[in-house]
Amino acid sequence: MTTTDPTTFGFSSTAEDVTAGVSLAGKTVVVTGCNSGIGMETTRVLALRGAHVIGTARTEEKAREALRALGIDGTPLACELSEPRSAAATARAIVGLGKAIDAIVCNAGIMALPAREVKHGHELQLLTNHIGHFTLVTRVLPALAERGRVVVVSSGAHMNAPKGGIAFDDLTLAASYQPWTAYGQSKLANILFARSLARRLPSGQTANALHPGVIKTNLTRHIGDEIFSRIDPKSLKTVEQGAATQTLLAAHPSVAAVTGVYFADCQPKEPSRYAQDDALAERLWHESERIVERLLA
Ligand SMILES: NC(=O)c1ccc[n+]([C@@H]2O[C@H](COP(=O)([O-])OP(=O)(O)OC[C@H]3O[C@@H](n4cnc5c(N)ncnc54)[C@H](OP(=O)(O)O)[C@@H]3O)[C@@H](O)[C@H]2O)c1
């Protein structure tokens, strides 16, 4: 297997760049949110390198249409992350395929809902971005390959999490809802989940989190594209560049043994203080287990 030098990967690298020379023939990977943005590009490039991609979207129809549009012979599955029963059913379907899962890219997400939305008693960004993926991943673990990788797409916006990191006393942020605080809490939860998971996985399996960069995608559907006019164009990534860090973590041999780490621009990066707090990560893990148990009861 020939690979390009991972130390040279950075802001401008694309998902194709970071997998040049990497063969994923015989590998099976899961990508959530395969029908849009950087998830769709991740799906395309992992398949281009030979992986069988299990692509999930809110509906099976959306997932099938995305794979068809990409010309990929993958497996489309429904996974509505704000419905824990759907995420659990997706996990059962994945395990039922009987294939070892080499990587699962927890990519789907929503951002900065202008008004507080609560579903099943939970704030919708935390429910979708974190609880949905927690439900899915913890139930797919029995099928994770011996050297399987869990890749959790977080955001630099995890820095906007509320005081204390996770507002356990007011998890739905009823008293202080702010769109970016709520998104930040959910994205901090993504990093803490990867951190806790890394501690639990047997040697060989890995879990990492990442910030993909700032990319013009459908993610701004709730706040409008106007936000991009306030961002220095030089700090924007293309979709191809935005998909690079998660594709690297899912596929590149150089990070096969790296675990419990946060990446940005295809390199390790120190996240916020809260994101490095193991006690916070453990508390979130146990709270998430309780939440999922109640929601699936
Ligand atoms: N774009 C950025 O600048 C940026 C920056 C930092 C982090 N991120 C993170 O990158 C990830 C991908 O975002 P993107 O920029 O590619 O955005 P995107 O184009 O909006 O894609 C998001 C994906 O998530 C799916 N999704 C949303 N809610 C869902 C739900 N309840 N159940 C299942 N799937 C759901 C969407 O499905 P539908 O199309 O059906 O809605 C879509 O496939 C997100 O986790 C985001 O937080 C992005």
Residue 4: pLDDT band (50, 70, 90) is confident
Classified by CATH at the fold level, domain 23-176+186-296 comes out as Rossmann fold (3.40.50)
Residue with CA at minimum distance from ligand 1 atom 3? 214
Rounded Cα–Cα distance for residues 203 and 259 (Å): 10
pLDDT of residue 232: 87
- Whole-number percent of the chain with pLDDT over 90: 92
Q: Note the pLDDT tens digit of each residue in 223-253.
A: 877 887 788 889 999 999 999 999 999 999 9
pLDDT of residue 3: 54
Mean pLDDT score across all residues of the chain: 96
Q: Which residues line ligand 1 (CB under 6 A)?
A: 33, 35-39, 57-58, 62, 79-82, 107-111, 128, 153, 155, 211-212, 214-215, 217-219
Domain boundaries, the chain: 23-176+186-296
pLDDT of residue 224: 79
CA 182 to chain centre: 17
Q: Note the pLDDT tens digit of each residue in 186-201.
A: 999 999 999 999 999 9
Residue with CA at minimum distance from ligand 1 atom 42? 33
pLDDT of 2 above 60:
no
Give the mean pLDDT of 147-161. Answer: 98
**Can you give the pTM of this predicted structure?**
0.97
Residue 106 alpha carbon, nearest atom of ligand 1: 45
Residue with CA at minimum distance from ligand 1 atom 24? 108
Which residues are catalytic, by number?
177
Give the mean pLDDT of 73-98. Answer: 98
